[in-house]
Protein backbone atom coordinates (compact mmCIF):
# COMPACT_ATOMS: atom_id res chain seq x y z
CA UNK A 1 0.00 0.00 0.00
CA UNK A 2 2.83 2.38 0.94
CA UNK A 3 4.70 1.47 -2.25
CA UNK A 4 1.56 2.17 -4.29
CA UNK A 5 1.16 5.54 -2.58
CA UNK A 6 4.79 6.44 -3.29
CA UNK A 7 4.32 5.51 -6.95
CA UNK A 8 1.30 7.81 -7.24
CA UNK A 9 3.25 10.64 -5.60
CA UNK A 10 6.11 10.11 -8.08
CA UNK A 11 3.70 10.13 -11.04
CA UNK A 12 2.03 13.31 -9.77
CA UNK A 13 5.42 14.97 -9.34
CA UNK A 14 6.47 14.07 -12.88
CA UNK A 15 3.17 15.33 -14.34
CA UNK A 16 3.49 18.58 -12.38
CA UNK A 17 7.06 19.04 -13.62
CA UNK A 18 5.97 18.49 -17.24
CA UNK A 19 3.11 21.00 -16.89
CA UNK A 20 5.37 23.61 -15.29
CA UNK A 21 8.01 23.10 -17.98
CA UNK A 22 5.37 23.68 -20.66
CA UNK A 23 4.32 26.94 -19.01
CA UNK A 24 7.84 28.29 -18.50
CA UNK A 25 8.95 31.49 -20.23
CA UNK A 26 10.68 30.98 -23.56
CA UNK A 27 13.00 33.61 -25.02
CA UNK A 28 14.42 33.68 -28.52
CA UNK A 29 16.95 36.30 -29.60
CA UNK A 30 16.07 38.17 -32.81
CA UNK A 31 18.00 40.73 -34.82
CA UNK A 32 17.21 44.39 -34.11
CA UNK A 33 16.52 44.90 -37.83
CA UNK A 34 13.91 42.09 -37.87
CA UNK A 35 10.35 43.36 -38.26
CA UNK A 36 7.97 41.91 -35.64
CA UNK A 37 4.51 43.48 -35.61
CA UNK A 38 2.53 41.85 -32.81
CA UNK A 39 -0.09 44.29 -31.52
CA UNK A 40 -0.23 46.76 -34.40
CA UNK A 41 0.69 49.66 -32.11
CA UNK A 42 3.91 51.71 -32.23
CA UNK A 43 7.00 49.50 -31.95
CA UNK A 44 10.77 49.42 -32.43
CA UNK A 45 10.48 49.13 -36.22
CA UNK A 46 8.44 52.34 -36.37
CA UNK A 47 11.05 54.09 -34.24
CA UNK A 48 13.89 52.85 -36.46
CA UNK A 49 12.12 53.93 -39.67
CA UNK A 50 11.53 57.40 -38.22
CA UNK A 51 15.13 57.83 -37.05
CA UNK A 52 16.56 56.63 -40.39
CA UNK A 53 14.40 59.08 -42.36
CA UNK A 54 15.07 62.02 -40.02
CA UNK A 55 18.82 61.41 -39.94
CA UNK A 56 19.04 61.17 -43.73
CA UNK A 57 16.86 64.25 -44.31
CA UNK A 58 18.40 66.49 -41.64
CA UNK A 59 22.03 65.82 -42.56
CA UNK A 60 21.39 66.25 -46.29
CA UNK A 61 19.35 69.44 -45.85
CA UNK A 62 20.95 72.76 -46.69
CA UNK A 63 20.49 74.32 -43.23
CA UNK A 64 23.92 73.15 -41.99
CA UNK A 65 25.79 74.67 -44.94
CA UNK A 66 23.75 77.89 -44.84
CA UNK A 67 24.51 78.36 -41.15
CA UNK A 68 28.20 77.56 -41.68
CA UNK A 69 28.51 80.14 -44.47
CA UNK A 70 27.19 82.97 -42.30
CA UNK A 71 28.54 81.93 -38.88
CA UNK A 72 31.79 80.15 -39.86
CA UNK A 73 31.11 77.38 -37.33
CA UNK A 74 29.05 74.24 -36.89
CA UNK A 75 25.47 74.80 -35.71
CA UNK A 76 24.72 73.83 -32.10
CA UNK A 77 21.42 72.05 -31.44
CA UNK A 78 19.52 71.49 -28.20
CA UNK A 79 16.74 68.91 -27.85
CA UNK A 80 13.43 70.47 -26.89
CA UNK A 81 9.97 69.00 -26.39
CA UNK A 82 8.73 66.23 -28.70
CA UNK A 83 4.99 66.02 -27.95
CA UNK A 84 3.18 62.72 -28.17
CA UNK A 85 -0.32 63.68 -29.34
CA UNK A 86 -1.30 60.12 -30.19
CA UNK A 87 -3.73 57.88 -28.31
CA UNK A 88 -0.98 55.48 -27.21
CA UNK A 89 2.23 55.55 -25.21
CA UNK A 90 5.20 56.30 -27.48
CA UNK A 91 8.72 56.68 -26.17
CA UNK A 92 10.11 59.48 -28.34
CA UNK A 93 13.58 59.18 -26.78
CA UNK A 94 14.46 56.19 -28.96
CA UNK A 95 14.43 58.00 -32.31
CA UNK A 96 15.48 61.38 -30.87
CA UNK A 97 18.57 59.79 -29.31
CA UNK A 98 19.39 58.20 -32.69
CA UNK A 99 19.17 61.61 -34.35
CA UNK A 100 21.27 63.25 -31.64
CA UNK A 101 23.95 60.58 -32.00
CA UNK A 102 23.99 61.02 -35.79
CA UNK A 103 24.46 64.79 -35.38
CA UNK A 104 27.41 64.33 -33.02
CA UNK A 105 29.07 61.55 -35.02
CA UNK A 106 28.75 63.46 -38.30
CA UNK A 107 31.11 66.16 -37.03
CA UNK A 108 28.90 68.73 -38.76
CA UNK A 109 26.45 69.50 -35.94
CA UNK A 110 27.20 70.16 -32.26
CA UNK A 111 24.66 69.05 -29.64
CA UNK A 112 24.48 70.80 -26.27
CA UNK A 113 23.06 69.30 -23.08
CA UNK A 114 19.32 69.59 -22.60
CA UNK A 115 17.61 71.23 -19.62
CA UNK A 116 17.32 67.89 -17.81
CA UNK A 117 20.97 67.01 -18.39
CA UNK A 118 22.43 70.39 -17.43
CA UNK A 119 21.43 70.14 -13.75
CA UNK A 120 23.80 67.26 -13.02
CA UNK A 121 26.62 68.87 -15.01
CA UNK A 122 26.28 72.17 -13.15
CA UNK A 123 26.27 70.37 -9.79
CA UNK A 124 29.50 68.62 -10.79
CA UNK A 125 31.02 71.96 -11.79
CA UNK A 126 30.17 73.44 -8.37
CA UNK A 127 31.73 70.42 -6.66
CA UNK A 128 34.77 70.73 -8.92
CA UNK A 129 35.14 74.39 -7.98
CA UNK A 130 35.55 73.34 -4.35
CA UNK A 131 37.55 70.13 -4.71
CA UNK A 132 39.39 69.92 -8.04
CA UNK A 133 42.89 71.26 -8.66
CA UNK A 134 43.28 74.68 -10.26
CA UNK A 135 44.65 73.14 -13.46
CA UNK A 136 41.73 70.74 -13.98
CA UNK A 137 38.89 72.91 -12.65
CA UNK A 138 36.21 73.96 -15.17
CA UNK A 139 34.86 77.48 -14.73
CA UNK A 140 31.20 78.43 -14.48
CA UNK A 141 29.69 80.63 -17.17
CA UNK A 142 31.45 79.08 -20.15
CA UNK A 143 28.70 76.80 -21.46
CA UNK A 144 28.08 76.67 -25.20
CA UNK A 145 24.75 78.15 -26.18
CA UNK A 146 22.51 76.48 -28.76
CA UNK A 147 21.75 77.99 -32.15
CA UNK A 148 18.72 75.77 -32.83
CA UNK A 149 16.15 73.86 -30.80
CA UNK A 150 14.68 70.59 -32.04
CA UNK A 151 10.95 70.38 -31.36
CA UNK A 152 8.25 68.17 -32.78
CA UNK A 153 5.14 66.06 -32.41
CA UNK A 154 3.63 62.65 -33.11
CA UNK A 155 0.03 62.52 -34.33
CA UNK A 156 -2.16 59.53 -35.14
CA UNK A 157 -5.36 58.86 -37.05
CA UNK A 158 -7.17 55.57 -36.43
CA UNK A 159 -9.87 54.36 -38.81
CA UNK A 160 -11.69 51.28 -37.48
CA UNK A 161 -14.61 49.11 -38.54
CA UNK A 162 -15.61 45.69 -37.20
CA UNK A 163 -12.37 43.73 -36.68
CA UNK A 164 -10.15 45.84 -38.94
CA UNK A 165 -8.39 49.10 -38.30
CA UNK A 166 -5.91 51.33 -40.08
CA UNK A 167 -3.41 53.21 -37.95
CA UNK A 168 -1.72 56.27 -39.44
CA UNK A 169 1.23 57.93 -37.70
CA UNK A 170 2.79 61.26 -38.63
CA UNK A 171 6.04 62.38 -36.97
CA UNK A 172 7.08 66.00 -37.51
CA UNK A 173 10.42 67.40 -36.31
CA UNK A 174 11.50 71.02 -36.69
CA UNK A 175 14.73 72.91 -36.01
CA UNK A 176 13.94 76.44 -34.87
CA UNK A 177 16.53 79.22 -34.69
CA UNK A 178 16.87 80.49 -31.13
CA UNK A 179 18.05 83.84 -32.49
CA UNK A 180 14.98 84.74 -34.54
CA UNK A 181 12.46 81.83 -34.34
CA UNK A 182 12.94 80.94 -37.99
CA UNK A 183 12.41 77.31 -38.95
CA UNK A 184 15.64 76.05 -40.47
CA UNK A 185 14.57 72.46 -41.19
CA UNK A 186 11.32 70.48 -41.23
CA UNK A 187 11.44 66.69 -41.18
CA UNK A 188 8.44 64.42 -41.58
CA UNK A 189 7.83 60.67 -41.56
CA UNK A 190 4.47 58.96 -42.20
CA UNK A 191 3.66 55.36 -41.28
CA UNK A 192 0.50 53.39 -42.01
CA UNK A 193 -0.61 49.97 -40.75
CA UNK A 194 -3.57 47.83 -41.81
CA UNK A 195 -4.51 45.57 -38.89
CA UNK A 196 -6.90 42.63 -39.22
CA UNK A 197 -8.72 41.02 -36.27
CA UNK A 198 -7.73 44.04 -34.21
CA UNK A 199 -8.44 44.36 -30.51
CA UNK A 200 -9.43 48.03 -30.40
CA UNK A 201 -7.83 50.24 -27.77
Q: How far apart are CA 147 and CA 100, in angstroms?
A: 15
| 154 in Cβ contact with 86 (< 8 Å) | yes
Residue 137 has a pLDDT of 87
Q: Could you tell me the pTM of the whole model?
A: 0.80
Mean pLDDT across the chain = 87
Which of the residue ranges 14-18, 24-28, 112-116, 168-172 would you say has the lowest mean pLDDT?
14-18
170, 142 in Cβ contact below 8 A? no
Residue 34 has pLDDT above 80, yes or no: no
Going from the N-terminus, what domains does the chain have, and what CATH number goes with each?
41-130+145-196 (3.40.50)
pLDDT confidence band for 142 (50 / 70 / 90): confident
With H, G, I as helix, E, B as strand and everything else as coil, classify residue 130: helix
Greater confidence, 51 or 115?
Answer: 51
What pLDDT does residue 49 have?
95
Residues 6+ positions from 58 with CB-CB distance below 8 Å: 99, 102, 103, 173, 175, 185, 187
The arithmetic mean of pLDDT across residues 10-27, rounded, is 67
Share of the chain above pLDDT 90, in %: 58
Cβ atoms of 172 and 58 within 8 Å: the answer is no
Amino acid sequence: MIAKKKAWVMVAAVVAAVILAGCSTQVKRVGVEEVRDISGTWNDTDSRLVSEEMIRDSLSGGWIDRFGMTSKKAPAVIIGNIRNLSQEHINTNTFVNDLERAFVNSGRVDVVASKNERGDIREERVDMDLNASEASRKEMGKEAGADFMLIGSINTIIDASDSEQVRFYQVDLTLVSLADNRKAWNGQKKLKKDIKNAKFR
